[in-house]
Structure 1
């Protein structure tokens, strides 16, 4: 029984990660090229919160109760985008620090780089 539940949850997660538009967009933002788009992507939370508000008002006015899960989905997607903005800045800073450190290591360890520096320093201009 537990194996069946485990398999169902894994397959559901795979389906949601692969085919839902917000998850695809968040996966693209998490790439090295996409990290700069984290803050502008936070603006996508506004339409989701607006849709949640509209559905909530509609439900409060006597609308169908099946809109409640939709409200939860809208709020969940808005939270994902709101959290991804600052997180992308942290990830971008970390990546840039690692890239700078790797560049410095490569420059220090490359023997021709040191030789070229000494040769150009010895040549009078």
Structure 2
């Protein structure tokens, strides 16, 4: 039974990760080229919060109860977009530090090779 539940949760996660638009967008933002779009993507939280507010008002005025599921979904997606902004900044900062260190390492190696060539020519 536990194995069946585990397999079902893995397949559900795979499906949601692969085909849901917000997850696709968040995966694209987490790439090296997409990290710069983390802060603007935070603005996408506003329409989700607006939709959650509208659904909440509909529920309060006697709307169907299944709208509660949409409220949860909208709030969850808004939180994902609010969190990706600071996370993308941290990831971009770490990658730029790593790239700068790599450039320094390559420059030092090339300078060492130049000095080794000049040492062999002068000897």
> TM-score with structure 2 length normalisation?
0.90
- The corresponding residue for 2:26 is 26
Do residues 75 (structure 1) and 75 (structure 2) align? yes
Unaligned runs of 5+ in 1: 119-125
Instruction: Please tell me the root mean square deviation across aligned C-alpha atoms, in Å.
Output: 1.4
Aligned residue runs from structure 1 range 1-125, under 5 A: 1-111=1-111, 114-115=114-115
After superposition, the C-alpha distances for 1:61-81 in whole angstroms (9 at most, x for unaligned) are: 000001001100000000000
Q: CA deviation at 1:114?
A: 3.7
- The corresponding residue for 2:121 is none
Give the total of aligned pairs: 116
CA distance in structure 2 between the aligned counterparts of 1:66 and 1:28, rounded to whole angstroms = 31
Q: CA deviation at 1:110?
A: 2.5
> TM-score with structure 1 length normalisation?
0.89
Q: CA deviation at 1:112?
A: 6.8
Q: Which runs of 4+ in 1 moved over 3 A?
A: 111-115
After superposition, the C-alpha distances for 1:78-114 in whole angstroms (9 at most, x for unaligned) are: 0000000011001100000000001101111225764
